Amino acid sequence: MSAYRKQVVTAGAVVLGVAGLITLLSASYTLDETEQAVVLEFGKPVGEPITEAGLHFKAPFIQEVVVFDKRWLVWDGDPNQVPTRGREFISVDTTARWRISDALQFLKSVHNESGAQSRLDDVIDSVVRDKISSTDLVEIVRLASWDVTKADLARAIVKTGGKDHQLTQKVEIGRDKLTRSILEEARKSMPQYGIELVDVRIKRLNYVPSVQKQVFERMISERERIAEQFRSEGDGEASRIRGETARTLAEIRSEAKRKGEVIRGEADAEATRIYNAAYGEDASFYEFWRTMQSYRKTLNGAVLLLGPDSDYFRYLRSPRGGAADKDG
């Protein structure tokens, strides 16, 4: 065999080998534990969905494989403004978990996960709106299994200024039963899309912005009313304390004045007794001493219109007051 023919045979073998490899790769595919697949032939599904992990084969070139997730997937809806049965407008934020239960039906109805998310938006949002609008706000917020204690009531009375009617109101449905009813209602339409809905939960509840302002104003007004009540009670207590203080002070002053009068009376009595004793000891000396004190007070720059023979000046005329002179 010539060298040229050898080269042609070698090239042909290489081409056949490459073509066979390409054909083999095109005819095989693998799935892991989290995946499932549907085989399409000229764009149309062929056979049942493949759900087992491992190596699989298909017709090369004319068939293609569409792979879907087998795991639980998360759906998060946009917050919706919904009126309750009592006409309180609230914002409801809902979430759910779902999975592709029938890949073939899923492909035919919604095509992909993006289409499924859009369909879940329509179904779940509609059910949530219907259920919320037919339920009282207290049923949406509270759990039916919550046993309200006296401590809960006491805290609510303090926070609401004595209004605890929402805690004392009996809850028939509650948040748990409400979410279960939403799940059961939404599940009814899921099989036609090849979807299994496992759970629906309300993530967040809040008043809509237009109502929040009114609620906040009402809360501020209620807080101001409670603060005014506290201030009024404080003023009353302060007045009581000031009154008791004034009464106690008046009693102390009255008692001090009484004791002062008693002490002054006793002192005056003691002074009088001493004066009497001193006068009785030497009456003439006592008279002389008292007259000298009087001179000190009256003759210190004072003007007196008295006659020279006035008895007031007897000690000035004689050291013994004129008594001895008269005797002598």
Taking 80 as the threshold, does the pLDDT of residue 192 lie above it?
Answer: yes
**How far is Cα 272 from Cα 7, in angstroms, rounded to an integer?**
160
pLDDT at 28: 79
| Amino acid present at 97 | R
CATH C-level class of 73-207: alpha beta
Taking 50 as the threshold, does the pLDDT of residue 153 lie above it?
Answer: no
pLDDT digits (tens, 9 = 90+) for 234-255: 999 999 999 999 999 999 999 9
Domain ranges of the chain: 3-69, 73-207, 220-281, 296-327
**Burial of 64 (C-beta count, 10 Å sphere; 0-12/13-18/19+):** middle
Looking at per-residue confidence, does 312 or 169 come out higher? 312
pLDDT digits (tens, 9 = 90+) for 50-88: 889 888 888 887 888 899 999 999 999 888 888 888 888
pLDDT at 246: 92
3-state secondary structure of 208: coil
* CA distances, 325 to each of 152, 315, 317, 321 (Å): 108, 12, 10, 8
